[in-house]
Amino acid sequence: MSKRNKVVYWIATALLSLGMLNVGIVQLIKLDVEVETMTILGYPHYLMIVLGVSKILGVIAILVPKFPLIKEWAYAGFFFTVAGALISHLILGQPVDSLILPFLFLILTAASWYFRPADRKIASNRFLTSY
């Protein structure tokens, strides 16, 4: 892995992790702004607990060494959660500024996943040789 790819990976992963940890905590403590957003989007408030815990566990999964399969699931969870938020805001015709953060998290998730080191990936030929 080139030095540039390592730098891109760690910057994207650090920003993604800090952002997801921040949003996860905000959702767990049910900050008024987040409650209002969930109400506007039409989601039940208990979903904030599920999302908050999932985001915090996802951050742990992508930062801890080893466990590449769990990392894949965490990245997939981040992607679908953020894509769902982006789509929810779009469908309801929310202002453009409400799309910036979900879009940024989508880009950071993709960048962190794409540039991750080989030891954080599932070896693709491992499954092919078992047949």
- Higher-confidence residue of 120 and 85: namely 85
Interval 51-99: pLDDT, tens: 999 999 999 999 998 899 999 999 999 999 999 999 999 999 999 999 9
Strands (E), 9-54: none
What local confidence, expressed as pLDDT, does residue 126 receive? 52
Please report how the helices 68-91 and 97-114 are oriented relative to each other, as an axis angle in degrees rounded to 10.
160
pTM score of the predicted model: 0.88
Please report how the helices 47-63 and 68-91 are oriented relative to each other, as an axis angle in degrees rounded to 10.
140
DSSP at 29: T
Interval 30-45: pLDDT, tens: 999 999 999 999 999 9
Do 83 and 99 meet the contact criterion of CB atoms below 8 Å apart? no
